[in-house]
Chain A
Amino acid sequence: MATSASHRALGAALAVTVVAATATACAGAGGGIGPGDSSSINVLMVNNPQMLDIQKLTAEQFTQRTGIKVNYTVLPENDVRDKISQEFSSQAGQYDVATISNYEVPFYAKNEWLAPLDSHIAADPGFDQEDVLPSMRQSLTADDGHVYAEPFYGESSFLMYRKDVFQAKGLTMPENPTWQQVADLAAKVDGAQPGMRGICLRGQPGWGQLFAPLTTVVNTFGGTWFSKDWQAQVNSPEFKRATQFYVDLVRAHGEAGAPQAGFAECLNNMTQGKAAMWYDATSAAGLLEAPDSPVAGKLGFAQAPVDRTKSSGWLYTWAWGMQKASTKQDLAWKFISWASSKDYENLVGSKLGWSRIPDGKRSSTYRNPDYLKVTNAFAPQTERALTSADPRNPGVQPRPTVGIQFVDIPEFTELATRISQDVSAAIAGSSTVDEALDSGQERAARVAAKHKGGQ
């Protein structure tokens, strides 16, 4: 008995040693690999066309001039958000720069995950920070007054419509339409051509899908997610009226398959002549007016429709933020300064075409004759939408935090995504707006409770 027990103990000890030895062997051998090059930086970015352009141009245009090698990791939007929050919250220091949006910047800055950029900006007059649109600067500046990110490109939202279809029907689109006017026009142009619906509006669940346009409608109808003192307002009469209006409009004159339609689906509908109007991101205009688009030249652009506010366009930007734990902040700034510069816009314009430049962030872009030659159909309206957006005061009442089409708290993505599933169901007809928003109110109240008093 004793022998067998000692045998077993010996066996176990041996097994442990073998596993441990293997583990250390692996660790030892792997030590040499790693992004430790002193003249290279690592950039984590979202897979959008503008990012792929910079990836292509970097080696020839940036590395050759500065000697700084840039290693990119490209991921789709949801994955990149996960990865960035994981990387920045643990301050792992693997990435020096990441693309973050104006949604992340304020609370990332509050959590001290980002390096302030003020000193870099001050030391780099050629960057011309004053040229960056004021609404952009404001949305990338945290409550402490420091700048924490520089925009790569930005967008607002506006109304795109088929000028040719409106003309054929003898209709005119006001420059600043109200939502009621848009609903009336949608009824009139519905079916103007075979298979053409009156309007395309996002119905796909997601805080960044359905709730981006819908929250701007809520804002202008006088609603808000939260009051100044963190009271949830999701089932308030204004929020309900706005949502009911949106759902009714999509159900009556919206695109086929609306509960699944997001930005990409609406873009497809619009390109294929299956919608006469579309309220969405200003960045869609460039895609609709692209040389190979079948609807190029047939489009008109109006400001985001309103009800009780003067303007209601949203504000969104993908911007470069620097991780606080980065040990190469000077190199990282050199990269940011290049990527967000006027020169980079000119470079893309001359190399890849003016319709592809990362626009919507600098006022100089909208004075650039080369750019305006290609984009004059929508550039003035885009600039107006971008400058009239007010992220601190987007509705009729004071707000507890910044954000137009979102509320700038970490819980918002999950909260809005959950409620959007119910609103999407209301668009599909399997639920009602009242049900969706009443259960949404409970969720929102739980989130609000966390922030009450924490301000």
Chain B
Amino acid sequence: MTTKQAWRPWGVLAWFAGILFVLPVLWMVLTSLHSESDAATNPPSIAAKLTFQGYAEFFGATTGVSPWPPLLNSASASIGSTVLVLLLSVPAAYALSIKPVRKWSDVLFFFLSTKMLPVVAGILPIYLVAQYTGMLDNIWFLILLYTSMNLPIAVWLMRSFLAEVPKEMLEAAAIDGASLVTTLRKVVAPVAMPGIAATSLICFIFSWNELLFARVLTGVVAGTAPVFLTSFVTSQGLFLAKVCAAATVISLPVLVAGFTAQDKLVQGLSLGAVK
């Protein structure tokens, strides 16, 4: 990324598009640092005095409501479901790419077809199942749902990543007399690492940001961070700064996860085994 490259017309366009996409996020952060009355003015007051009041409100300065339980709920739902998804999707993807089962493309299509029903169409039966099994307001139920929600995507992603593992490497390992476990650990895993990182990141983001299921199925104890975020919206009084502060804090873990995984991704790709 030299200066020379950045001045090319496409580079300028890329910068322009990039800024266009980042601008709303920056706007959110700026608004979160304004006082409620400055945040609500029209036209917006960009140069207004900065304050951390919105963040103080988020951490319960006036209501005394702690944001930690919902944040922890979100963390357990996202991490728990991501781990489950990986445990299930990696073997499935292996069976669909490296050692493909018969009619593996049908199987893949079956996985994809489970995503074809709009989520909202399933919400009522799922609610009733949760109610009759006593799983309403239970974080384990969300973990289960998020796992099944993300599993098809993860299988598809992992399959395409594992399909990249060159047959020659597997054959070479077989000739050297490597066992299945050794092959998986020493040959497949390093090549698949970027794929696993990308898949976990996507699953984590999807579950962290999920609102519909969380809003409908949780209540007093299992509420997640996005549900908590909406609780700042009121039809009487000002709330923009508070909501922006809450949105900023709640997007932080995703950003952190994103940067971490990006690092892994680049690392994994540059370790390319064939070149």
If the complex has contacts A30-B138, A33-B139, A47-B231, are A90 and B219 also in contact, measured as CB distance less than 8 A? no
Q: Does B71 contact A (CB under 8 A)?
A: no
On whether the beta carbons of A79 and B134 are closer than 8 Å, the reply is no
Contact of A86 among B101, B127, B143, B237 (CB under 8 A): B127
A33 to B135, CA, bound (A): 9
For A11, A47, A56, A90, the residue with the greatest tally of chain B CB atoms inside 10 Å of its CB is A47
Q: Does B154 contact A (CB under 8 A)?
A: no
The interface bits of chain A over 88-106 (1 if a CB of B lies within 8 angstroms of the residue's CB, else 0) are: 0010101100000000000
Which B residues are closer than 8 A to A by beta carbons?
A: 40, 62-65, 84, 88, 95, 101-102, 127-128, 131, 133-141, 143-144, 147, 215-216, 219-223, 227, 230-238
On whether the beta carbons of B88 and A73 are closer than 8 Å, the reply is no
- Residue in chain B with minimal CB distance to A71: B220
Contact of A48 among B135, B143, B234 (CB under 8 A): B234
On whether the beta carbons of A30 and B219 are closer than 8 Å, the reply is no
Report the interface size for chain A: residues with CB under 8 A from the other chain. 44
The secondary-structure label for the interface of chain A is helix
Q: Does A123 contact B (CB under 8 A)?
A: no
A340 to B160, CA, bound (A): 61
On whether the beta carbons of B135 and A30 are closer than 8 Å, the reply is yes
On whether the beta carbons of B63 and A8 are closer than 8 Å, the reply is no
On whether the beta carbons of B134 and A23 are closer than 8 Å, the reply is no
Report chain B residues within 8 Å CB of A27: 133, 135, 140, 144
On whether the beta carbons of B127 and A90 are closer than 8 Å, the reply is yes
On whether the beta carbons of A35 and B221 are closer than 8 Å, the reply is yes
The secondary-structure label for the interface of chain B is loop
10 contacts between A and B (CB under 8 A): A30-B138, A33-B221, A47-B231, A47-B232, A47-B233, A47-B234, A55-B64, A56-B63, A71-B220, A73-B223
Q: Does A76 contact B (CB under 8 A)?
A: yes
Q: Does A52 contact B (CB under 8 A)?
A: yes
A55 to B63, CA, bound (A): 7
Q: Least Cβ distance of B124 to chain A in Å?
A: 9
- Residue in chain A with minimal CB distance to B95: A11
Q: Does A126 contact B (CB under 8 A)?
A: no
Report chain A residues within 8 Å CB of B144: 22-23, 26-27
On whether the beta carbons of A4 and B102 are closer than 8 Å, the reply is yes
Q: Does A264 contact B (CB under 8 A)?
A: yes
Q: Least Cβ distance of B142 to chain A in Å?
A: 10
For B144, B223, B235, the residue with the greatest tally of chain A CB atoms inside 10 Å of its CB is B235
On whether the beta carbons of A22 and B84 are closer than 8 Å, the reply is yes
Q: Least Cβ distance of B107 to chain A in Å?
A: 10
Q: Least Cβ distance of A356 to chain B in Å?
A: 12
A72 to B65, CA, bound (A): 10
A31 to B40, CA, bound (A): 45
A230 to B150, CA, bound (A): 49
Q: Does A34 contact B (CB under 8 A)?
A: yes
Q: Least Cβ distance of A69 to chain B in Å?
A: 11
Q: Least Cβ distance of A278 to chain B in Å?
A: 15
On whether the beta carbons of A83 and B215 are closer than 8 Å, the reply is yes
On whether the beta carbons of B219 and A73 are closer than 8 Å, the reply is yes
Closest 8 CB pairs of A and B: A30-B140, A76-B233, A47-B234, A71-B220, A26-B140, A74-B231, A30-B138, A77-B235
